[in-house]
Amino acid sequence: MKNPSITANDTSNIVWIDDEAQPTAHCNRTVPVPDHGEFTIGELSREFGVTLRALRFYESKGFVTPRREKNVRLYSQGDRARIAAILAGKKLGFTLSEIRTMISGMDAQSEAAGLKVTEERCLEQIHALEKQQLTIKDALAELWRIHAGLSAEIIRIDRRDSMSQPAMTAAGG
C-alpha cells in the first residue's frame, strides 16, 4: 500500500481510504489511477457530498470537462474548483444559469474557486432570501398553530375516552 489518501466525510463517521487501483475480482482489467492533480468521480462525490448523477449532470451541462481514460472520468483541479463554486452558488440560492455566468471567467485550469458576484446581484439575493425566510417563518407559525390545535383535540378525545371507559367496563361486566 503506497501513501493512501484519507478523506473524512463531514456528515458521517465514515473515513474513506483510497489507495492505488486494484484489479477487480471478477475480471482481469485494472482501473486507471489518477495522477495527483486529478480526481475520480467517486472521490469528488465523497468530498462534496453530491451524487455521481449530479456530477454527470454538471458535465452534461458543460460546467466541467473531465478527461476519459477507458470508462473512468478524471477531473482536473480546475474541474474541482468549478464544482466547489457551483455548490457554493447553489448554497447561496443562485440558479445554475446565474452560476454559469458567475464562473464563466474561471480559467479551467485555475485552482482558485470562487463566484464573481456583483454587489447589486448580492443585494438582490439577500433580499430574495430574506423574503423566503419571512415566508418560511409565517408557514412555520401556521403549522405550529395547527399542531397546537390538533394536540388539544387529541388531549380532549383522550380525556373523553378515559372518562367513558370505566362506565363501559362496569356496565358490561
Q: Out of 19-33, 106-120, 142-156, give the one with best mean pLDDT.
A: 142-156
Q: How many residues does the chain have?
A: 173
Structural domain for 74, as ranges: 5-117
| Cell numbers at 31, concatenated | 482501473
93 and 150 both lie in a single domain: no
* Whether residue 106 is found in the same domain as residue 150: no
Both 52 and 10 in a single domain? yes
pLDDT tens for residues 51-93? 999 999 999 999 999 999 988 999 999 999 999 999 999 998 8
Model confidence at 111: pLDDT above 80: no
Do 82 and 140 fall into the same domain? Answer: no
pLDDT band at residue 20 under the 50/70/90 scheme:
very low
State whether 102 and 152 are in the same domain: no
CATH number at residue 58: 1.10.1660.10
| Same domain membership, residue 106 and residue 171 | no
Give the three-state DSSP class for 55.
helix
Query: Are residues 38 and 78 located together in one domain of the fold?
Result: yes
Q: Are residues 105 and 154 in the same domain?
A: no
Number of domains observed in the structure of the chain:
2
User: Hey, what's the cell of 66?
Assistant: 473531465
pTM across the whole model:
0.57
